[in-house]
Structure 1
Amino acid sequence: MHSNGIHIMNHSIDFILLNLGGKCVLNWALVILQRNHICRSFVGIFSVSLTVIDTALTLIFTIIYLHGDGRCFLLGLQLTKYHICLLVQIIGEVYSVLQYPVVVMTGLDHFCTTSQRLQTATSRLKGIFKSFVSIILWYLAFLYIFLLSDFLPVLEDVSHHQIYQCWIFHVFQILQVAMLMFLTLGSAAFFTRCSPRLFKNPRQVNQITDQSRSDSRRSVVSQALGIFLNTWAIFLFFLAALLVLPVGIPSYLGLNVAWLCFLNSFLIGVVLCVVCPDSKLAQGLAAVPPDSFCEWKFKFSLAKEDSA
């Protein structure tokens, strides 16, 4: 049990390396898939940094494991299998700490894009700024783990020649974010399906314009919800299963590019529904953040467009 009451699990080092290797392959596949536009958004730049860090750590862990008898040295420090367990726990805590900051920064980035803030800045300057923010987030996360948190590693009291398993913490932040997502999706579904019936009242002349705008906004939310669900329905079922079943997610797997792509699509849909004017969406003039999975195209009837 962790000092904060967070549950831990016991994984073999072979299993950890296999999971990390699979995670790296998935990360690189998704980065390559989005290579044409991945550096245009904060979440894309952060995904690249995460992929590089995961790959470097996997290589380091593999080298240490293959030389687990103590013949591996780094800067004069003798590295053993103990260090694999220690580093896996540390990086898992860092990934857990980064969940909410990444969500917030991605949402702010999409808000600036759709509301067309910072228009005067060049794309290169924006990329440099987003890269700088990514570096700062990584730095602050490590700083928090080492100096401010009450994180305590859990290691077996055996010789490094006899250690074959590591204690791994569960990550709960991803489940918390998933719960907030389901609440948001449920609220959107309620707004599109139930609100017209509950709040229906006779139209007056001075309410026609407001009603028309409300109908247009409801159409935007309905279409955005449909676009998102058509793409990510299977992933949502998987998240729902994780929320219902008593299973834990290893902390070193909690932050990955697939999860970031899912977050990206969800936050794009939220920002488009909240920020972007209906008229721009109807005319296809909205500045939509890059998304390799969802095609954010909205359709409006001519009658609704004219009344709006």
Structure 2
Amino acid sequence: MTALSSENSFQHQLHQTNRPLDGNCLLFLIIFGKILLNILTLGMKRKNTYQHFMEYFCISLVFIDFLLLASISIISYFRDFVFLGMRFTNYHICLFTQIISCTYGCLHYPVFSIACIDYCLNFSKTIKLPFKCQKLLYIFTVILIWISTLSYVLGDPAIYQSLKAQHSYSYQCPFYSSEQSYWLSFAMLMALCVACVTCCSEVVTLVQGIRITSYKKETILYFPFSSHSSYTVNTKKTLLPKFIICFLGTWLPLVFLQVIILLLNVQIPAYIEMNVPWLYFVNSFLIATVYWFNCHKLNLRDIVLTVDPFVNWKCCFIPCTVHNLEHFEKPISIIIC
């Protein structure tokens, strides 16, 4: 009887010991996988792109994820220790993750707005700065947005009370899902849907006659055009279906994923939802929007056309300015945007 009681007590203690550790290991694997995905995405991007705000923010996001992963690993290994007069336990793993999640969840609108302002200013060239000054400005902006958002999260009494209540009444570590991400994704998908409905027939016509060819050692899409079309003037109506094809040709899987998430109302933790592929998806959407609204000002020789790390927007313009492109370049079968 005593042996059976001791065995049950040992199993109960073992279960209690492994329960939070399993959660910590799962959290470690999730964040580690996210970091690998972010690094892989950064490695896959086009190398001939010019630096912009979103590029620096993506790098800072990988750095913050790495700090979170390092903190979780250290606390999970030592479990209970004192550092600089502060005692750290498994509780702080959940606390740090919740704080980072709330910070990520509040960053979608600011990052979207700053990136949009950045592209508008670069496109209009209202402010011309040397490369080093522009680089320092981007770094300062990224640091400022992180500090201000983290200060808002830590200083907001409503968020603090919410975190305190969640830890008091729930054994498992709860997660924070961002409303900003939901509505931003919803707005972009609705805009894309309206654009597709507006020029549905033009998109179908272009897809049926589209060709993949090489121009100046770069793979482009050759869009069909009539013999009486203008080769130098691009209107919003003619460019919109080309923008849609180039955008969906690169980001269609992510678009489908966003549709499924919205339809099923999937609640994704904010520390997973804010990632580099999502930011580059938003980045391409912003660039296409800025190009479309300023199509009459576009200049093919302008470096602004190469800022997108994944979509080659020159595919939308070069075939309109070069006559009989297929006569001097042989089509190839691989597209690289």
Same fold at TM > 0.5: yes
- Among 121, 124, 127, the alignment partner of 1:115 is 124
Say if 2:28 and 2:72, in contact at 8 Å, map to a contact too.
yes
Match of 1:101 in 2: 110
- Among 258, 265, 280, the alignment partner of 1:261 is 280
Say if 1:114 and 1:286, in contact at 8 Å, map to a contact too.
no
| Partner Cα separation in structure 2 for residue 149 and residue 226 of structure 1 | 46
- Among 93, 97, 108, the alignment partner of 1:88 is 97
Structure of larger gyration radius:
2
CA distance 1:89–1:37, change in 2 (3 Å): farther
Count residues with an aligned counterpart. 268
| Partner Cα separation in structure 2 for residue 279 and residue 41 of structure 1 | 18
1:21 to partner: Cα distance = 0.7
Equivalent residue letter for 2:271? Y
CA distance 1:144–1:279, change in 2 (3 Å): closer
| Partner Cα separation in structure 2 for residue 33 and residue 194 of structure 1 | 33
- What is the SS of the residue equivalent to 1:78? strand
Say if 1:13 and 1:166, in contact at 8 Å, map to a contact too.
no
| Partner Cα separation in structure 1 for residue 320 and residue 233 of structure 2 | 13
Please state if 1:155 is matched with 2:167: yes
Structure 2: give runs of 5+ residues left out of the alignment: 1-21, 203-230, 324-337
Please state if 1:228 is matched with 2:235: no
CA distance 1:279–1:18, change in 2 (3 Å): closer
Equivalent residue letter for 1:98? L
Equivalent residue letter for 2:153? I
TM-score, normalised by the number of residues in structure 1: 0.79
| Partner Cα separation in structure 2 for residue 109 and residue 301 of structure 1 | 28
- What is the SS of the residue equivalent to 1:288? helix
| Partner Cα separation in structure 2 for residue 79 and residue 194 of structure 1 | 61
1:287 to partner: Cα distance = 2.1
| Partner Cα separation in structure 2 for residue 215 and residue 105 of structure 1 | 28
Instruction: Give the % identical residues.
Output: 26
- What is the SS of the residue equivalent to 2:82? strand
CA distance 1:175–1:289, change in 2 (3 Å): farther
- Among 268, 274, 277, the alignment partner of 2:296 is 277
1:293 to partner: Cα distance = 1.2
Please state if 1:136 is matched with 2:144: yes
Aligned positions of 1:130-209 closer than 5 A:
130-148=138-156, 150-151=158-159, 152-153=162-163, 154-156=166-168, 165-193=172-200
| Partner Cα separation in structure 1 for residue 153 and residue 40 of structure 2 | 30
Equivalent residue letter for 2:310? F
Say if 1:31 and 1:38, in contact at 8 Å, map to a contact too.
no
| Partner Cα separation in structure 1 for residue 240 and residue 23 of structure 2 | 46
Match of 1:300 in 2: 320
| Partner Cα separation in structure 2 for residue 106 and residue 52 of structure 1 | 19
Equivalent residue letter for 2:270? S
CA distance 1:246–1:185, change in 2 (3 Å): closer
Structure 1 vs Structure 2 CA RMSD? 2.8
Say if 2:233 and 2:296, in contact at 8 Å, map to a contact too.
no
Please state if 1:240 is matched with 2:240: no
